[in-house]
Amino acid sequence: MTKITVSPDCGNAPKREFIKQLSIAFAQRDVDFLVYSVTAEIAWNVVGDKVIEGNEKFDHELKQIRSGEVAELVIERILTHGKEGAASGTMIMQNGKKYAFSDFYEFSGAKDVKVKSITSFNN
């Protein structure tokens, strides 16, 4: 089971809560939730690695991720404004390896919670 830690300043506004759930879904490999949460034209730019376009390719890419299990997810920051939002934090794997992430989201509308694009920075 993944331990989830969220900074108190992440708040509970609807978009912030949704971005928190997206971050948790990535950590827990909840492909169904992630695919349901994006538009058919999703564009996922994993900076320095690849760009995945379209819901089917997004689904396929998520299913290919075979890295180790996440022991702890620490969400340090969630920001939202209009059609955009972002989350950053760290993931600590079962083997102790630590990864930092920053994900930037664009939604299909200011009030719509479907994700139109994701830009991911990981190290």
CA 32 – CA 87 distance, rounded (Å): 20
CA 40 – CA 50 distance, rounded (Å): 18
* Alpha-carbon distances of 54 from 38, 41, 66, 99, 113, rounded to whole Å: 9, 5, 21, 26, 17
pLDDT tens readout for residues 47-78: 999 999 999 999 999 988 766 789 999 999 99
pLDDT tens readout for residues 1-28: 789 888 876 666 888 999 999 999 999 9
Identify the three-state secondary structure at position 34: helix
pTM of this structure: 0.91
- Please tell me the CATH code under which domain 3-122 is placed: 3.10.450.50
User: What b-and-e string marks burial along 39-59, b requiring 16 or more CB atoms within 10 Å of the CB?
Assistant: beebbbbeeeeeebeeeeebb
